[in-house]
Amino acid sequence: MANLANTNDDERVDEVEPHSLHEKVYLQLRTAISSGKFASGETVTIRGLAELLGTSPMPVREAVRRLVQDRSLEMLPNRTMRVPPMSQARFDELADVRANVEGYAAFRAAERISDRNFAAIRSINDRMGVAIREGDVPGVISTNREFHFAIYSAADSDVLLSVIENLWQQSGPYLAALLHALSNAPNALPTVGFGHHFELIVALDARDAEVSRKAMMDDILTAAQWYRQNVLFDTDVEGKKTELKDAVR
Amino acid sequence: MANLANTNDDERVDEVEPHSLHEKVYLQLRTAISSGKFASGETVTIRGLAELLGTSPMPVREAVRRLVQDRSLEMLPNRTMRVPPMSQARFDELADVRANVEGYAAFRAAERISDRNFAAIRSINDRMGVAIREGDVPGVISTNREFHFAIYSAADSDVLLSVIENLWQQSGPYLAALLHALSNAPNALPTVGFGHHFELIVALDARDAEVSRKAMMDDILTAAQWYRQNVLFDTDVEGKKTELKDAVR
DNA sequence: CAAACCAATTTGTGATCACAAATGAGATCG
DNA sequence: CGATCTCATTTGTGATCACAAATTGGTTTG
């Protein structure tokens, strides 16, 4: 019964890493867009991105198709693609929808979260506290993301989670601008960063769904409020080609 | 100043119709999936669909990529694609998320709707009443969709609207099953169909956002409840190749 | 000097070919 | 007779070519 020819595979390295090139390209472009490596309103071309990433146009074509699908890219009628321009109206829409959807996710999470997961969330928040004290802005942004998505995962709904991931992706360029703004205003870090995290933790600990929803909404809306007051919507349409080539493989 | 060589274009027929083949294929497959033309869990191949639609695999490849992106298709790790199998859990998730998101859309709509748009919504509901009295099940389904999306459009948020469209797309196969079930239970048509439409209309007329939200949530949740009680989740995994070729062009 | 024309380039798009991985059926072995 | 191996087929994937539409830059014209 033991033939060790084809069953034993020692290589389980590629468990998580994407295998197909278009997947890799998609992930690269996705993080590039959501981290602000492309200017708002900047136009891109398939061949251009392909050369930038050192691949043929083929994988880029498929990746771009997906990015357009989740509104990370925009396809204008006249055969040109661009990063959706940031605007006050779009920002407001995203903030409001996020507050509602992610508030609901917090609601669900409070109903279902395990003690173990709750402890993990509390510990993420502690790490975020360290980042705030050290003025580590990128650290704050990333732990904040961890914190939020730990809660959303606890809501235990694939459908809901994918909706939220899509909303965050669309908010990516705004987040990048927020990061930049916070670097120049370190004293705002605790307010904007922590937001209503403590209320959220207390509510989750008490498994109080309605209060959790409220805390999550407040967290999102107050951050958006600060953003509106301190980050201007510059209509940067061109320039900023930015580096990206990294390493496709 | 008047050179009539290239500026006068009398043909504005293709205003709304898609120009690219992959767009056409995408729309075809999308409606095919959401109208239940593919069985739940049925596996599909790029080349297979291409032959079915009479095109090369190329446009199908791009269309399928988009369908996977919005979860209308599922990509299994082992290089096979399938229609996401219907399940009780997935249905519950979709119903709950829909109730929350679309409830919020009704909330926003109540705050912003114009008299003109409200009149249009009321008239759509009247047409739906006719369809119900005549026992026209497909008519009920389609006017119901019109009714809901007229409200969601009044919410005036592209971000929100696209999220909702995505949720409806994912619910497509369930809706198809609902249609089939209702055809055998015509007496349930008024209850399931109209649901809480009248309360919704009254609330919208009064511009009462909170009551509108509640009515929309009730409408969705009671329909889901009826579905759970009367439609069984048959695990039909194969067969049912179904016609589709229609006309790509 | 500015507006209009024109040609060369760039663009998305569709089709086809090549290839490696996965599948499935047929043969072989125990 | 059942499990295993093997080989032909099918599959997604990447690259390349061809083409029409659109853009762009240069030139010409008034």
Residue A146, beta-bridge partner list: none
Residue B169: CB atoms within 10 Å: 18
Least confident segment among A94-98, A245-249, B141-145: A245-249
- What sign results for the dihedral spanned by CA atoms B150, B152, B156, B161? negative
- The confidence score (pLDDT) of residue A16 equals 56
Nearest residue to A153 via CA among A124, A121, A122: A121
Report CB contact under 8 Å: B160, A93.
yes
% residues pLDDT > 70 (chain B) = 86
Q: Does pLDDT of A185 surpass 90?
A: no
A70 contacts in chain B (CB < 8 Å)? 69-70
In total, chain B counts a number of residues equal to: 249
Average pLDDT of chain A is 87
Q: Protein A9 CA to nucleic acid C27 C1', in Å?
A: 27
Residue A44, beta-bridge partner list: A81
Q: Does pLDDT of A245 surpass 60?
A: no
Over residues B195-245, the pLDDT tens digits come to 899 999 999 999 999 999 999 999 999 999 999 988 876 544 433 333 343
Q: Which helix (H) or strand (E) holds A95?
A: helix A88-112
Q: CATH classification of B18-82 is 3.40.1210.10, yes or no?
A: no
Average pLDDT of the residues in A21-41: 94
- More confident site: B17 or A170: A170
Instruction: Please report which confidence band the pLDDT of residue B190 belongs to, taking 50, 70 and 90 as the band edges.
Output: confident
Give residues 67-86 of chain A lying near strand D (Cβ < 7 A): 78-80
A158 contacts in chain B (CB < 8 Å)? 90, 93
Size of interface A-B (CB pairs under 8 A): 73
- The confidence score (pLDDT) of residue A234 equals 55
Average pLDDT of the residues in B94-98: 98
Instruction: Please report which confidence band the pLDDT of residue A187 belongs to, taking 50, 70 and 90 as the band edges.
Output: confident
Over residues B70-81, the pLDDT tens digits come to 999 999 988 899
Q: Measure the CA–CA gap between A170 and A92, rounded to whole angstroms.
A: 12
- The confidence score (pLDDT) of residue B8 equals 32
| Residue B207 structure tokens | 């511009």
Instruction: Please tell me whether any atom of strand D lies within 7 Å of the Cβ of A249.
Output: no
Radius of gyration of chain A (CA): 20
Q: Residues A54, A245: contact at Cβ < 8 Å?
A: yes
Domain-wise residue ranges, chain A:
18-82, 88-230
Same-fold call for A18-82 versus A88-230: no
- The confidence score (pLDDT) of residue A17 equals 67
- More confident site: B119 or B174: B119
Tell me the fold of A88-230: Four Helix Bundle (Hemerythrin (Met), subunit A) (1.20.120)
A104 contacts in chain B (CB < 8 Å)? 97, 100-101
Over residues A209-244, the pLDDT tens digits come to 999 999 999 999 999 999 998 887 754 443 333 334
Q: Measure the CA–CA gap between B121 and B198, rounded to whole angstroms.
A: 11
Of the partner residues B61, B90, B97, the one whose CB lies closest to the CB of residue A163: B97
B177, HSE (Cβ side, Cα atoms, 13 Å)? 23
Those residues whose C-beta lies under 8 Å from the C-beta of residue A242, and which sit 6 or more positions away, are A37, A38, A39
Q: Does pLDDT of A27 surpass 70?
A: yes
Over residues B122-175, the pLDDT tens digits come to 999 999 999 999 999 999 999 999 999 999 999 999 999 999 999 999 999 898
Least confident segment among A4-8, A53-57, A138-142, B132-136: A4-8
- The confidence score (pLDDT) of residue B16 equals 56
